[in-house]
Amino acid sequence: MLFTVCSLTVALLLALMMSLGLQSKTMKRITGALLVFTGASGIFLYGYGYTSLFGSVVQALIRTLFSVFCMFLGRNEIGAISSVPLLAKPWMQVYLYGVHLLALYCTASAVIAALGTKLIRTLRLLLARRGELHLIYGVNEQSVAFGEKLRKTEKGFLVFVDGGSGSAFEAAVLRSGGLIIDSNDAKKPSAAFLRKIGIRPGPRRLMLYCLDDNDTKNLRYAESMLQTLAAAKIAPEQTSLTVLLAEADVGSMLQAHGTHYGYGSVTAFERAELLARMMIRTWAPWETIGFDEAARATEDFEALVIGFGATGQAVLRSLVMNGQFEGSHFRAAVLSEDRCRRAGSFFARYSGLCDQYDIEFCDMNARSVEAYRLISERFRHMNYIAVCTGSEKENAEIAMELSHYFSAQGVHPVIVQCSAKEISRISDKDGLVTTVNIYSPEVLCGRRLDQMAMQLNHCYHEQEGNTAEADWAACDYFSRMSCRAAADYVDAFLRAAGTDRETVLARGFDPSGEVLENLSRTEHLRWCAFHFAMGYHAMPEETFAERAAVYRRQLAETGKGSIRIGKDTGAKLHACLIPWEDLPALAEREFAVTGKRADYYKMDRDNVRLVVDMLKASGT
């Protein structure tokens, strides 16, 4: 019986400690209010009693202070003031003892809560040493919300590393099943930290997300962790990295490739790029137009971007990449009063995109008479509007005005408001606003997308006899980005073909005839748009001829040409950035030099035929 009593007591005590350690904000507020009420009551009661008993202010002050402290330590000094007539009354005695009980409760709950939190941390740290580990650097409102969603969609344990402000979010993290570690060996990841979280050579995987508000800190942490992982001999395939950076191109430096040690998988985002990506995922351009039975678009795609800072620039690039369909003409207008002052880098880096696509840049305010005249004359059938002024208030006002204007015209485009950390849309049915946080596992945790991209990449190298994983490991950062973009476009193919994921997985997908032809042409349009949006240009004839001469010289000297004639990665030039109809002629020109015949039509068709395999690989 003694053992049973003791065991149950320990269990109940531990449960109480842990429940207090996980108490909600509401309970903390109630406890805080009780603490204030109890302290004020004690000061009043003992202050009144000692002032009545002693003539000295100093003596009364010291005794009051001592008694109030004792009250919170579980000792009472009621006897010292019980001779005061008012305090000797029965109802005042009840009040006095009630205040002391509340004081004891506040003290006990604080102590037990602290012990409970420590116990939870200890248990969670033990659990963090098993299974996959999701490690989030940076504790803020967005990363904590992301962690809560991640716990619902992904297996494994969740650990946050506090960069400086995590204490305000600890209760929320603990309630969601995670853990915050703020030790120095976590902030500057060391071998001791890896041991603490159970990361060692073997099958266990570490998924690192650097989501601090400071992008420089994100890069430093990713680099520091990489050095520690290398010293611990952790294989690249055990790791993945998602990181927010001021310049996403830096991500290529962090990925393992060839003999270069790095993370097995790297996805780097600029914040504006992340927002644009989430916008496309949530309200896809291909959902705004119609297609015929042959998977050919029946209408043009027209877009309007308001504001051309970092967000507007990223949104325009995403719309170009995701708004290309066979049978449809892409057209966009950008309204910005300070375009020349803020977008010089964009026009320098993406001049090919500006040259290739029907994009009109207008130096005007979106609420001006000139803007509405432009819209009424040339953009009356708008499909997509992104409002990116940098001000949430102005975004909302412009979006509402445009919504009223287009509704009166009988047109209902997608109107998205893009702020720093979320996107929102006004419903054209009931006027309600839908808001989406851009920190979403769907985008930041790209495992499913990578599985699809890996399957696509394997198709290009299948004749080499390697596994899909080996081909992916040998794939450079830009090529992975290209494969991910192609995999991300699967839903556009399905929409154009008049089907969806569930139907395809149940019945298969084997397009032929005009459907296959039009989907393949759409794939080529998408591929070209991706490259132009990444800063590529079509390769000039003279450059192609120069590279062909270098290839011939290498062939004569070594018996093997080591360059790809039609692609210059360093200069961002590609010979395939041409219309679909011109691809066979390009293949013939390359064949005349290399003796190897490329079938570019087949490559695009294969991408379309791989839809089922990609969906199966993603587990969706």
Q: What is the pLDDT of residue 22?
A: 45
Across the range 138-148, mean pLDDT stands at 89
C-alpha 434/C-alpha 439 separation (Å) is 16
Cα 72 to Cα 38, 67, 121, 486, 528: the distances in Å are 9, 9, 27, 65, 72
In percent, the amount of the chain with pLDDT more than 70 equals 88
> Comparing 243 with 165, which gets the higher pLDDT?
243
Do residues 35 and 106 touch, judged by C-beta distance below 8 A?
Answer: yes
Predicted pLDDT at 105: 64
Measure the CA–CA gap between 276 and 438, rounded to whole angstroms: 9
Question: Which residue intervals of 243-357 are DSSP H helices?
Answer: 251-254, 271-282, 310-322, 339-342, 344-349, 351-356
Pure H helices in 367-476: 369-378, 392-408, 441-444, 447-461, 468-473
Band of residue 125 on the pLDDT scale cut at 50, 70, 90: low
| CA atoms of 219 and 250, how far apart (whole Å) | 9
Q: If you average pLDDT over residues 194-221, what whole number do you get? A: 93
Work out the average pLDDT over 80-99.
77
Q: For 499-508, which contacts have Cβ atoms below 8 Å and span 24 or more sequence positions?
A: 501/615, 501/620, 504/611, 504/612, 504/615, 505/612, 505/615, 505/616, 505/620, 508/612
pLDDT of residue 369: 94
With 50 as the cut, is the pLDDT of residue 619 above it? yes
Per DSSP, 237 falls in state: G
171 falls in which pLDDT band (50, 70, 90)?
confident
Whether the pLDDT of residue 82 is over 70: the answer is: yes
- Residue 191 structure tokens: 């071998």
Token pair in block for residue 36: 């204030």
Q: Please say whether the beta carbons of 525 and 608 come within 8 A.
A: no
Is residue 2 scored above 60 in pLDDT? Answer: no
Q: What is the pLDDT at residue 270?
A: 92
For residue 509, the SS3 value is: coil
CATH 3.40.50.720 in the chain: give the residue spans: 128-269, 276-442
Summary mean pLDDT of the chain: 86
Mean per-residue pLDDT for 270-294?
95
Strand partners, 359: 332
Q: The tokens 């839809």 sit on which residue?
A: 611
Q: Are the beta carbons of 304 and 379 closer than 8 angstroms?
A: yes
Residue 424 phi, psi (nearest 5):
-145, 160
List the end-to-end C-alpha distance of the chain, in Å, as a whole number: 54
Q: Which of 591, 540, 604 is nearest to 568 (CA)?
A: 540
Contact 482, 574 (CB under 8 A): no
Give per-residue pLDDT as tens, 483-497.
Answer: 999 999 999 999 999
**pLDDT above 50 for 76:** yes
- Give the C-alpha separation, 125 to 123, whole Å: 5
Write out pLDDT tens, residues 388-418. Answer: 999 999 999 999 999 999 988 888 899 999 9
Q: Which amino acid is at 442?
A: E
Classify domain 128-269 at the CATH topology level: Rossmann fold (3.40.50)
pLDDT of residue 123: 61
CATH topology of domain 276-442: Rossmann fold (3.40.50)
| Two structure tokens written together for 530 | 């991706």
- The reported pTM is 0.81
DSSP-assigned beta bridge partners for residue 106: none
Region 322-343: mean pLDDT is 90
Burial group, residue 350, by CB count within 10 angstroms (0-12, 13-18, 19+): buried
Helix axes 447-461, 477-488, angle to 10 degrees: 110
| CB proximity list for 260: less than 8 A, separation 6 or greater | none
Separation in Å, CA 9 to CA 109, 123, 324: 17, 19, 67
Burial class (CB in 10 A: 0-12, 13-18, 19+), 309: middle
Q: How do residues 359-391 score in pLDDT, each as one tens digit?
A: 999 999 999 999 999 988 887 788 999 999 999
Of 387-391, 425-429, 509-513, 530-534, least confident by mean pLDDT is: 425-429
CB-based contact 425:433 (threshold 8 Å): yes
State how far the Cα of 265 lies from the Cα of 456, in Å rounded to an integer. 16
Start-end of H helices in 165-233: 170-175, 184-187, 191-196, 215-231
CA within 13 Å, CB half, 606: 14
Q: Quote helix, strand, coil % in the chain, to nearest 5.
A: 60, 10, 30
The model's confidence at residue 116, banded by pLDDT at 50, 70 and 90, is very low
Q: Please give the pLDDT value at position 166.
A: 53
Q: DSSP strand E in 443-594: where?
A: 537-538, 567-568, 573-574
pLDDT tens digit string along 545-561? 999 999 999 998 888 88
Whether the Cβ atoms of residue 263 and residue 235 lie closer than 8 Å to each other: no
Mean pLDDT of 517-523: 97
Rg of the Cα atoms in the chain: 32
Six token digits for residue 92: 């005042």
What confidence tier does 6 reach under pLDDT thresholds 50, 70, 90? low
Q: pLDDT tens, 11-43?
A: 544 454 444 444 555 656 776 677 778 778 778
The pLDDT assigned to 31 comes to: 67
